[in-house]
Amino acid sequence: MAETQAIPAPEEVEVRPRAPIVERVRRPLAPKPSPIIPASGVAGRALFLVVTAMCYLASITLGASLLVRNQIDEWTSDISNQATVQVRPVDGVDVELQVNEAITVLMSTQGVMSADPMTARESSALLEPWLGSAQVLEELPIPRLIAVEIDRQNPPDLAQLATTLESTVEGATIDDHRRWQSGLTRMAASLQMVAFAVIVLVGATTMAIIIFATRAAIASNREIIEVLHLTGAT
């Protein structure tokens, strides 16, 4: 007789609970705000080109202003420690003797570091671009020039030096280049003012273009904006 298999009692059956189902709640992504003037459109590309051109013009103007200012500063720095003595030929007086007397006065003045005279040929070469060949210049009473280097830390009294030269050496005058320095300084200031005005004008023009382009884009989408406003959009 076959043996019957015992059936376990209901309370002995192991009940395995099902794995809980995790519901994934996905929040809808907020739509990205679209630009008022789409960059891919004709108006967006045109506005980008205009703004780029304006920025380029402003950069060029600013760079040119700084370059001119630095160059003028170098020029004024170079001539601030220099002066030029001019010895005009006088009838009956040897010009070489006049030059030597002027050099003696200059080197005996405190604050003068060096005094280098230019030869007659070098003085004539400075006038050749305006007066022609050297043969014509030989017949003219060309003044002799002396390049004077001044100590920046201990400069001499140029007014007193000019008086001493005029009283000691007949026909001698000194030029301290202050007129050229003041002219260069005024020119640099004027160029900087013009550059600043150009930069301000370019900036104002760029802002006006952006404002008008934005207003035009809003005006072209006026109906859509009104509908969105009626639905509660802000």
Other residues' Cβ atoms within 10 Å of the Cβ of residue 160: 10
Residue 95 belongs to domain with CATH number: 3.30.70.100
Distances 144 to 26, 91, 109, 111, 122 between C-alpha atoms, Å: 95, 14, 20, 22, 9
Cα(62)–Cα(192) distance, integer angstroms: 9
What does R_g of the chain's alpha carbons equal in angstroms? Answer: 44
Report yes or no on 163 lying in a domain.
yes
From the number of C-beta atoms within 10 Å of its C-beta (0-12, 13-18, 19+), residue 68 rates as middle
Residue 5 — very low, low, confident or very high, per pLDDT cuts 50/70/90?
A: low
Query: For the chain, what's the residue count?
Result: 234
Q: Is the pLDDT of residue 20 over 70?
A: no
204: which 2 tokens? Answer: 């104002």
Asked whether residue 14 is assigned to any structural domain, the reply reads: no
In whole angstroms, give the CA distance from residue 152 to residue 78: 11
Residues 204/81, Cβ–Cβ less than 8 Å: no
pLDDT at 218: 74
Q: What is the mean pLDDT of residues 109-137?
A: 80
- Is there a single domain that holds both residue 126 and residue 190? no
pLDDT tens track for 69-111: 888 887 777 777 888 899 888 888 888 888 899 999 989 888 8
Q: Does 196 map to a domain?
A: yes
3-state class (DSSP) for residue 146? strand
Same domain, 149 and 195: no
| Pair 49, 97 in one domain | no
Q: Domain span at residue 86?
A: 81-176
Instruction: Give 24-57 pLDDT, tens digit per residue.
Output: 445 555 555 555 555 565 666 777 888 888 888 8
Whole-model pTM: value is 0.54
Identify the residue whose tokens are 């072209």. Answer: 220
196 shares its domain with 133: no
Percent residues over pLDDT 70 in the chain: 76
Predicted pLDDT at 7: 53
Q: Cα dihedral angle (94, 96, 100, 106), rounded to 10 degrees?
A: 100
Q: 13 or 197: whose pLDDT is higher?
A: 197
Q: What is the pLDDT of residue 42?
A: 60
Asked whether residue 85 falls in the same domain as residue 166, the answer is yes
Confidence of residue 1 (pLDDT cuts 50, 70, 90): very low
